[in-house]
Amino acid sequence: MNPDFLAWSGNLQVRIETALEHLLPDPRHAPQTLHAAMRHAALGGGKRVRPLLAFAAGEVAGADPARVEIAACAVELIHAYSLVHDDMPCMDNDMLRRGKPTCHVEYGEATALLAGDGLHSLAFELLSGHTLSDTPERQLDMVKLLASAAGSRGMAGGQAIDLASVGQTLTLPELEFMHIHKTGALIRAAVLLGAYCGAALDNTTLARLDRYAKCVGLAFQVVDDILDAEAPTATLGKTAGKDAQHNKPTYVTLMGSTRAKAFAAELHRDALDALAGFDSAQRLRELADFIVQRQF
């Protein structure tokens, strides 16, 4: 990756960590254990891809970074909640996340469940409690956008399909439908929320950002499937080989590794095509590169 992108993303990763540290409840305040569990889940790890996408899309709309920071934290909190619940014994039953014990391993199942709930609610408290847009109508649209991306017609719905697919044979369109919801919906919300923090964009520009977001959202998942099959646990910071172990259909099991890599490259090209001619979208382009080239 180019050094300028690494510096930009590194600075923003620190910015997000600092913002989340301030926005998450103080672990000295009751209920202390719940607050500690929320902080365990949201702080000190993760690539922060969704917040980076929000900042990059905010640049296209000339958004105030202070506004984008709040929207980016809201998306990251939804992501952190989803990982806590996904790791629980009733779902993926995983012990390792971001190189640390998962939330339920550290704090017990009941606290982990509540920590996920607390993170989810805090995301909406942020999105509704700060001025993020020039008009109340657009800000309400932002709340609705995140709610539907996280809900049964978005991420939670995709997770339900995922759980039901264990041991089943899915077709490629069925697999794509699942991932567009489970992973893609929140990635799309990150891009659009970042853009909504800035000046109103015309419909063509918004549609192009949306097309970019859909392509990188799916590419993210294809690469995730490839890494799960090929990368070691130590590099991933989460248990490798879980998909095969759980008998889950993936892009690697359906297409084979070579075709899955070619598909990720095709989605990458489509994402870049969607941004053709946008001078202000350089960070979005670099993030698309990062998403397909990442090793963890």
Q: Binding of ligand GRG at residue 102 (CB under 6 A)?
A: no
Q: Which is nearer to ligand GRG, 69 or 162 (CB)?
A: 162
Q: Which is nearer to ligand GRG, 111 or 139 (CB)?
A: 111
Name which of residues 62 to 81 contact ligand GRG (CB under 6 A): 79
Residue 31 preceded by cis peptide, ω within 30: yes
Q: Binding of ligand GRG at residue 183 (CB under 6 A)?
A: yes
Q: Binding of ligand GRG at residue 250 (CB under 6 A)?
A: no
Name which of residues 202 to 241 contact ligand GRG (CB under 6 A): 221, 224
Q: Which is nearer to ligand GRG, 71 or 201 (CB)?
A: 71
In the shown chain, the binding pattern of residues 24 to 63 toward ligand GRG, with x for contact by CB under 6 A and - for none, equals ----------------------xx-x--------------
CB of residue 87 to ligand GRG, shortest distance in Å: 8
Q: Which is nearer to ligand GRG, 83 or 213 (CB)?
A: 83
List 43, 143, 156, 231, residue binding ligand GRG (CB under 6 A):
156
List 155, 209, 287, 292, residue binding ligand GRG (CB under 6 A):
155
Residues at the site binding ligand GRG, with contacts judged by CB under 6 A: 46-47, 49, 79, 82-83, 85-86, 98, 155-156, 159, 182-183, 221, 224
